Structure 1
Amino acid sequence: MLKNLFLTTLLLCSATVSAESVFEVNLDPAPYSRTEARVQAMELVLNRLTGGRAQDSWVQDEARRDLSRYLQSEPTGPGYNAVFNEEELLALLKSAELPFSLTSRPTVLVWLSEEGRSRNEASRVWRRASSAYQIPLLWPLWDLEEHMTLDTRDLFDAKPLREASRRYGANYWLAVEQDATGGRWQLFGSAQEQPLLQGRLASGADTVTGLMARLNRYWVEKNEQRSALRPDNPMPIQPLLAKADASGELTIVVSGLHRYADSVLLERKLRQLDGVGAVYVVDSAGSQGRYRLSVPGSRAAVLQALTTITGLAVTGEREFSWAGGQHD
């Protein structure tokens, strides 16, 4: 009776992580700089949603540039806490055609052997890693009943591990063997005889966080959502004209902006040019956009710099064609 009550308590405790929103972040300890904390929290949310794919996409740079647009609130509490805007973030991911997942991560039963000794509770490192990727963890009792069927030396033997895991009700269990030089791990599922995933552990402070990130990528790949492809922007019936420039400005017209992502990528490249103070989208029509560049110095130098942007071709006086989406 007491053992069943203890198991129920463990299950309830493990569920607290999954109850949090994937858009809520707690960094504890937090970076000293609030700006750094905001960026770190944003990158973590993007990694949760995409399984790490955002790291190789322009969306991470775009989110950093306009953090206030995606940051909804910063609640008080220990460390740094942030809540991000679900609608804005999902719109960003869909514009980049990145798959993502909002599905709650399942509870994972962890069989951990550290230096040959079994662990039946989460250390601070494991709690932080579990919270970072919203993966609820359940820890076994490692009592006499389990030691009769499973020894720490047999953690990667699927049959005794399955037998010892049955009474915890988890659909997944993780076997981890860790020592000072690293270790190894395997993820098992109740419906499969063979490991679902396996790998090596590197030594270092972030090794458990890296393991949780790998599990998170697995859940995202299993449950990813993709937005329906939107038709490309057509060429406008009435083409845009560059028009006259005011002092300190340079207006250009760019064609070939077939997707929203093309406009974002181009704007980012324009902001990076030497001699450009700011970039404004004046208007757009179909696959064309008119951009106004603030040019405190030489207009000729900026026009020359425009020809060096990969994917941007000159088609006329202050007129260009964009094919950069093929290069990013």
Structure 2
Amino acid sequence: MGLSRYFFVGCLSLVSLASHAETLNGLYQVLEPVSSQAPQEREQATQRALQTLVIRLTGDAKAAEGPGLAAIRKDPQQIISQYGYDAGPPESLQVDFDPVSTDRALRDAGLALWGNNRPSILGWWLNDSTEGSSLVGDGQSAAEPLRRAAQHRGLPLRLPLGDLDEQIVATAPNLESADPAPLRSASERYGADALLAVHAREEAGQWQAKWRLWLGDKAEQGSVQGADTAALADAVLLAVSERLAPRFAVKAGVSSEQLLQVQGMTLERYAALGHLLEPFGAQLQRVDGDRIVYRVNGSSEQLRSQLSLAKLQEVPAGEALAPQPVQPPVAEGAAPAPLPPAEPEPQLRFRW
């Protein structure tokens, strides 16, 4: 049975893409520390949870204060499904927001939303304190503030093992360098989408950090400070989220509609590719052998960023020639049948 027939009869299994992007679970669940379970404390924590969620979904720290969400700020219960308390530490209010009503409220407010399929990030984090210099490795107690901050900011963060070879590579000069080559070589074993380098230093009881982020051919950098390692980790990952979100967030009714062709399709890739394109309202248009065409609503740059998570390569314009309509055989004495109309040309072409 051919690939095209499989697509249309729907005999598909949900499998993962040949990529390292991660689908985040718990994106709409927020934990906010509290000092008590008093009603006033709960109300304040609920407002903080709302702001945290809006930043997670938009990457915009000011979005929650916009006029479009005034009604939600006044009564956040309309998008909350349930709440409870987590013993911690620290003790926290756990707020579960309803994904459907939340997305609708944010889109009605004119906000662009970042879906739950996000680039995995490998974090090289070096702490310099009065106790010495140490690379934060997976499984260490020092990794816990980083994991909490990543969950709080909606980012899939991974950490290296922190073995001797990695400690030799993850020096302060390498972490602060604009050249990621040494870290990239050491990162290959982890297969993450993005590379995050952080050099954190404690000075006079305060923490400050310089960070660099590489995803694809784009690099970002910045510096933050915090009262302790937990606050510093949250500040770093908030900054990373704010830089990444514009590449992926889609605003309803604003992005341009266009055709996207993907070559090299197999049955195993179909369902997962559809999931990756969900934020762009993808509609299947046609299948021709191992080529599939979707109608999508999104900017070219956002689509390129999203498809890069699946390690797809863009096909140069000169290589992608559309098949020409073929004149069917004509019986002797019969008038030739009209050629079928040419299919509309995809604006973007990618291949596996």
Task: Work out whether the TM-score is over 0.5.
Answer: yes
Counterpart selection for 1:226 from 251, 261, 264: 251
Q: Residue type matched to 2:157 in 1?
A: L
Counterpart selection for 2:25 from 5, 20, 25: 20
d(CA) in 2 for partners of 1:212, 1:169: 20
d(CA) in 2 for partners of 1:219, 1:42: 20
Query: Which position in structure 2 is the counterpart of 1:44?
Result: 52
d(CA) in 1 for partners of 2:125, 2:170: 12
Asked if structure 2 preserves the Cα contact closer than 8 Å seen for 1:149 and 1:163, the reply is no
Instruction: Give SS of 1:110's match.
Output: strand
Q: Residue type matched to 1:38 in 2?
A: T
Query: Which position in structure 1 is the counterpart of 2:221?
Result: 198
Give CA-to-partner distance per residue, 1:280-315, whole Å, 9 cap, x none: xxxxxxxxxxxxxxxxxxxxxxxxxxxxxxxxxxxx
d(CA) in 1 for partners of 2:70, 2:144: 31
Counterpart selection for 1:137 from 111, 132, 157: 157
Q: How does 1:45-84 map to 2 (within 5 A)?
A: 45-52=53-60, 53-75=62-84, 77-78=86-87, 79-84=92-97
Instruction: Give SS of 2:199's match.
Output: strand
Query: Which position in structure 1 is the counterpart of 2:276?
Result: none
Counterpart selection for 2:201 from 179, 185, 189: 179
Counterpart selection for 2:135 from 118, 134, 137: 118
After TM superposition, the structure 1 stretch with the greater mean CA deviation from structure 2, 64-73 or 96-105, is 96-105
Instruction: Give SS of 1:184's match.
Output: strand
Asked if structure 1 preserves the Cα contact closer than 8 Å seen for 2:198 and 2:210, the reply is yes
Query: Which position in structure 2 is the counterpart of 1:214?
Result: 239
d(CA) in 1 for partners of 2:168, 2:147: 28
TM norm structure 2? 0.54
After TM superposition, the structure 1 stretch with the greater mean CA deviation from structure 2, 143-152 or 174-183, is 143-152
d(CA) in 2 for partners of 1:183, 1:225: 31
Q: Residue type matched to 2:134 in 1?
A: R
Give the C-alpha shift of residue 20 in structure 1: 2.1
Give the C-alpha shift of residue 106 in structure 1: 2.2
Q: How does 1:276-295 map to 2 (within 5 A)?
A: none
Asked if structure 1 preserves the Cα contact closer than 8 Å seen for 2:23 and 2:116, the reply is no
d(CA) in 1 for partners of 2:184, 2:72: 43
d(CA) in 1 for partners of 2:30, 2:171: 37
Q: Residue type matched to 2:109 in 1?
A: A
Asked if structure 2 preserves the Cα contact closer than 8 Å seen for 1:44 and 1:132, the reply is yes
Asked if structure 2 preserves the Cα contact closer than 8 Å seen for 1:107 and 1:172, the reply is yes
Q: Residue type matched to 2:166 in 1?
A: E
Give the C-alpha shift of residue 142 in structure 1: 2.7
Asked if structure 1 preserves the Cα contact closer than 8 Å seen for 2:30 and 2:95, the reply is yes
d(CA) in 1 for partners of 2:28, 2:151: 12
Asked if structure 2 preserves the Cα contact closer than 8 Å seen for 1:26 and 1:82, the reply is yes
Would the alpha carbon gap of residues 168 and 66 (structure 1) be closer, same or farther in structure 2, given more than 3 Å must change?
Answer: same
Percent identity for Structure 1 against Structure 2: 23
d(CA) in 2 for partners of 1:173, 1:212: 13
Asked if structure 2 preserves the Cα contact closer than 8 Å seen for 1:180 and 1:203, the reply is no
d(CA) in 1 for partners of 2:213, 2:79: 34
2:97 matches 1:91? no
Give CA-to-partner distance per residue, 1:227-261, whole Å, 9 cap, x none: 226xxxxxxxxxxxxxxxxxxxxxxxxxxxxxxxx
Question: Which structure has more RCO (C-alpha within 8 Å, separation ≥ 6)?
Answer: 2
Asked if structure 1 preserves the Cα contact closer than 8 Å seen for 2:24 and 2:156, the reply is no
The ranges of structure 1 where at least 4 consecutive aligned residues each deviate by more than 6 angstroms after the TM superposition are none
Give the C-alpha shift of residue 87 in structure 1: 2.4
d(CA) in 2 for partners of 1:70, 1:150: 44
Query: Which position in structure 1 is the counterpart of 2:334?
Result: none
Asked if structure 2 preserves the Cα contact closer than 8 Å seen for 1:107 and 1:136, the reply is yes
Aligned length, in residue pairs: 210
Would the alpha carbon gap of residues 73 and 106 (structure 1) be closer, same or farther in structure 2, given more than 3 Å must change?
Answer: same
**Uncovered stretches (5+) of structure 1, i.e. residues with no partner:** 1-14, 230-328
